[in-house]
Amino acid sequence: MSGALSGVPILRLGDVLVTGLLNELDDKAAIAVTEELTERIVADRARAILIDISRLEIIDSFVARTLMELTTTARLLGARVIVAGMRPAVAITLVELGLELSGVETTLNAEQGMIALGWQPAPRPPKGAPVVPLR
């Protein structure tokens, strides 16, 4: 089941909701994502949300505050939030704005975020191992 009322796809992987924020996230879209994720936490009984922001090149104070509010709301509903893929420029902007994403867990990328949530990546074949085609 996936949703995209906000224009941002939200995928359910087991009891984890996964979404990504696009580069051009305006205030209206940020509010829509927050509302949709909040509803999906309850409807899907999600225990966690992974938000990939690796495509987000800039962030303003409104979007940062909306992200903090989403995290607080999700935690009140019993869901853990991990923000993955923050670019250095976004981190610097948050510091310059004096905004702390308190209570927000971060990882370098979405794969590390999923591992933090207990996902086990498939083992990679050793270098030089023959590739078996899928049928």
In tens digits, the chain (135 residues) has pLDDT values of 444 545 678 999 999 999 988 766 777 887 888 899 999 999 999 999 999 999 888 888 888 888 888 888 999 999 999 999 999 999 998 888 888 777 789 999 999 999 999 988 778 778 887 777 776
Count of all residues that appear for the chain in the document:
135
| The CATH number of the domain covering residues in 10-117 | 3.30.750.24
What is the C-alpha end-to-end distance of the chain, expressed in Å?
Answer: 26
Q: Would you say the pTM of this structure is higher than 0.85? A: no
Residue 38 neighbours by CB distance under 10 Å: 18
Q: Are strands 16-20 and 48-52 parallel, antiparallel or unpaired?
A: parallel
> What values do phi and psi take at 108, rounded to 5?
-65, -30
Q: How many DSSP H helices and E strands does the chain contain? A: 4, 6
